[in-house]
Chains A and B, each alone.
Chain A
Amino acid sequence: MLRYAIKRIGLGLLILIIVMVGMYAAVFLVPGDPAAVALGPRATPEMKRMLMERMGLDQPLIWQVVNFFRNALTGNLGIDVWSKRPVGTIIAEALPNTLVLGVASIGWSMLLGVPLGCFAVVYRDGWLDRLVGILSVSVIALPSFVVSIYALLLFAVKFNVFPAIGAGQPGNVASQIHALVLPCFAIGLGWVGYLARLVRASMLEVMGEPHIRTARAFGLPEWRVVFRFALRIAIVPTISLVAVGLGGILSSAVFVEVIFARPGIGSLIYNAVTSRNYPIVMGTVLVTTALYVAITITADLLIARLDPRVRDVFRD
């Protein structure tokens, strides 16, 4: 188990290094000078030189990368060009907002999607199954930014029951939860369908296995067969797919945070991209990629915990 974890973490670090080298190489190789683009056509050469220096873009490529990682190891992700504050601090301030948003979205969609998938299996080929099937495909297909805007239009502008912008007042948990409802709805809606489908498909697979027949042979009611015997196994492939899909949550978070003007990683990188703020972009990409890699590794280890067979394979 430990060896496996170390191997996965090693591979994750390698991927992080490749990604950052790729980013720096791209900046370095691209024709045209990023400072000129950032400052606009009226910038003097002196201003450009100073900006390049501040963003660390005046050094040879290899040094830029080495410096970045050397600093990143000590928690220093550089200094924001415009506000002159440490990038690490800015990200640390934004990250909790996005994490809360992501966890809350996944949370409500699991609470709804997993049981829906199970019900579809209990009543398979009935009208509920069909309805869940069509609704799932539909909500998976809907882009989260369209859902956000329609939800905003309906519940914030038309009926005025939820705030249209912001993340609530600091310190006031009730207002923060109130402000979280619409963004969570927009991000989680597609996930409800996605989870219902995943759970249904993997559950149907499991329901064909002999041990389910054993459970039925002992006269266990269908719902007990589904929830106690099948779900434990069917949830395993679902977890790994959810972990892979978390990258998608981040994408939705960018749109949702921009639309609802919520502070967070998504709106941070969006503003950094539009103002070509390299240190922030680099830092955010590093942090989010690291987070994503960490989540996928955690999911793999979680699967090993849930399935005693896998657990024993790793123990050797």
Chain B
Amino acid sequence: MSSAIDPRQLAAGAEPRPNAGPLRRALASPMGAFGLTIVAIIVILALFAGLLAPYDPLKIDVVHKLEGPSAAHWIGTDNLGRDTLSRIFYGARVALGVACVSIGLAMIAGLLLGLVAGYGPRWLDGILVLFFDSMSALPMIMFALAVITVLGPGTGTLILVIALVSIPGYGRLVRAQTLGLKRSDFIVAERSLDAGPARIILVHLLPNVVGPLIILASMDIPVVIMLEAGLSFLGLGVRPPTPSWGSILYDGYNALRSSTTLVIAGGLPLVLATLGFTFLGEALRDGLDPKLQRRGLR
């Protein structure tokens, strides 16, 4: 979905408006408020999982396996008798952690490659654009599965895969921004004053590129959370016993016929997280981009 939104438009529309901050306007909508609430809860869970979780998420208690909700285990236990609520809390940490690290890596690599493509020699630009195109020509899941086959499953591979599939998006964005700026009058003027490439990149390009990059990253978060959970669900992501929302759902799927509590509980955080992040992103975009808003009025 993120591909349908052009972050450059966002940046262009982000001029300060006198009446209300875009953030406040975005959050005034019910959808935005709902999204922000969910996202805030997930962030708090991830940060303070250790304090909030009632049990050790790894503590096995086979006697009480696959129990339904009770006073001791609010949303029951899994196939090894581990407390599902605690595992979901720690799962938030894994989901956000993987998302932040992999998106961070993709942003840095995309920034460097995009700058090189936009600012460097033509032949290098050609090669990098071909690389971006090849990456997008490959169905994402096929690429992920192929890399996992080679490297073996694990959190490290997972982060690498997610970073790799995200790089072209960031690289293209930075390249487009760089090319646009390179032709702009003030960069031409700077160059005629003998400013070196380092100065131009650091002083002019970077500040202009960072905003759109961050917006793109925020839109990527729900996609990445989904990818992490999906691969962990297939047993190709985060390795057990580390709790991931995907692997909790998988345990629930396996125990479907004996207990439905675990499978319902395993899916809910994913549903809420993706809805929350998406609604928040939508509301922010509507608030930030007067152009899109006007289109909605018509």
B interface majority secondary structure = helix
CA separation between A19 and B139, bound complex, in Å?
11
Report which of B31, B140, B150, B236 forms a contact with A34, defined as CB distance below 8 A. B150
Most buried by B among A11, A153, A293: A153
> Chain A residue with minimal CB distance to B145?
A273
Contact flags A112-132 to B (C-beta < 8 A → 1, else 0): 000000000000110000000
Asked if residues B267 and A251 are in contact (CB atoms below 8 Å), the reply is no
Segment of B18-26, B110-118, B272-280 engaged in the interface with chain A: B272-280
CA separation between A273 and B143, bound complex, in Å?
12
CA separation between A244 and B257, bound complex, in Å?
38
Asked if residues A276 and B149 are in contact (CB atoms below 8 Å), the reply is yes
Q: Which residues of A contact B43 (CB under 8 A)?
A: none
CA separation between A12 and B138, bound complex, in Å?
11
Q: Which residues of B contact A241 (CB under 8 A)?
A: 3-4
Segment of A75-83, A216-224, A280-288, A302-310 engaged in the interface with chain B: A280-288
> Chain B residue with minimal CB distance to A156?
B256
Interface members, chain B 201-231 (any A CB < 8 Å): 222, 226, 229-230
Asked if residues A30 and B4 are in contact (CB atoms below 8 Å), the reply is no
Does B63 belong to the interface (CB within 8 Å)? no
> Chain B residue with minimal CB distance to A129?
B296
Give min CB distance, B143 to chain A, whole Å.
Answer: 8
Does A140 belong to the interface (CB within 8 Å)? yes
Segment of B75-83, B129-137, B167-175 engaged in the interface with chain A: B129-137
> Chain B residue with minimal CB distance to A286?
B142
Most buried by A among B4, B133, B229, B277: B4
Asked if residues B150 and A146 are in contact (CB atoms below 8 Å), the reply is no
Asked if residues A143 and B226 are in contact (CB atoms below 8 Å), the reply is yes
Q: Which residues of B contact A18 (CB under 8 A)?
A: 130-131, 134
Asked if residues B137 and A19 are in contact (CB atoms below 8 Å), the reply is yes
Asked if residues A134 and B230 are in contact (CB atoms below 8 Å), the reply is no
Give min CB distance, B103 to chain A, whole Å.
Answer: 17
Size of the A side of the interface (Cβ < 8 Å), in residues, is: 63
Asked if residues A137 and B279 are in contact (CB atoms below 8 Å), the reply is yes
Q: Which residues of B contact A37 (CB under 8 A)?
A: 152
Give min CB distance, A52 to chain B, whole Å.
Answer: 15
Q: Which residues of B contact A158 (CB under 8 A)?
A: 260
Interface members, chain B 1-22 (any A CB < 8 Å): 1, 3-4
Given that A27-B150, A284-B142 are known contacts, is A194 also in contact with B1, CB under 8 Å in the complex? yes
Given that A137-B282, A204-B295 are known contacts, is A278 also in contact with B149, CB under 8 Å in the complex? yes
Q: Which residues of A contact B278 (CB under 8 A)?
A: 137-138, 140-141
Contact flags A250-281 to B (C-beta < 8 A → 1, else 0): 11001100110000000001101110101001
Does A63 belong to the interface (CB within 8 Å)? no
Does B62 belong to the interface (CB within 8 Å)? no
Give min CB distance, B296 to chain A, whole Å.
Answer: 8
Does A247 belong to the interface (CB within 8 Å)? yes
Given that A18-B130, A258-B234 are known contacts, is A285 also in contact with B146, CB under 8 Å in the complex? yes
Asked if residues A250 and B142 are in contact (CB atoms below 8 Å), the reply is yes
Given that A140-B278, A143-B229, A149-B249 are known contacts, is A272 also in contact with B149, CB under 8 Å in the complex? yes
> Chain B residue with minimal CB distance to A164?
B256
Report which of A15, A134, A247 forms a contact with B31, defined as CB distance below 8 A. A134
Asked if residues B256 and A153 are in contact (CB atoms below 8 Å), the reply is yes
CA separation between A250 and B137, bound complex, in Å?
13
Report which of B133, B274, B298 forms a contact with A141, defined as CB distance below 8 A. B274
Q: Which residues of A contact B236 (CB under 8 A)?
A: 273-274
Asked if residues A157 and B257 are in contact (CB atoms below 8 Å), the reply is yes
Q: Which residues of B contact A4 (CB under 8 A)?
A: none
CA separation between A153 and B271, bound complex, in Å?
16
Given that A27-B150, A137-B278, A281-B145 are known contacts, is A289 also in contact with B139, CB under 8 Å in the complex? yes
Q: Which residues of A contact B3 (CB under 8 A)?
A: 241, 244
Does A142 belong to the interface (CB within 8 Å)? yes
Does B147 belong to the interface (CB within 8 Å)? yes
Q: Which residues of A contact B230 (CB under 8 A)?
A: 143, 145, 251, 255
CA separation between A14 and B3, bound complex, in Å?
24
Asked if residues A146 and B270 are in contact (CB atoms below 8 Å), the reply is yes
Given that A153-B264, A270-B234 are known contacts, is A15 also in contact with B133, CB under 8 Å in the complex? yes
Given that A23-B146, A153-B260, A273-B236 are known contacts, is A250 also in contact with B274, CB under 8 Å in the complex? no
CA separation between A11 and B134, bound complex, in Å?
10
Does B253 belong to the interface (CB within 8 Å)? yes
**24 pairs from A and B in contact (CB 8 Å cutoff):** A15-B137, A30-B151, A134-B31, A137-B279, A140-B278, A142-B275, A145-B229, A145-B249, A158-B260, A241-B3, A247-B139, A247-B140, A248-B140, A250-B139, A250-B142, A255-B233, A269-B145, A272-B149, A273-B236, A281-B145, A284-B142, A285-B138, A285-B146, A296-B137
Known contacts A23-B146, A197-B4; can you find 12 more A-B pairs with CB under 8 A?
A15-B137, A26-B150, A27-B150, A37-B152, A150-B267, A153-B256, A244-B3, A255-B234, A269-B145, A281-B149, A289-B142, A296-B137
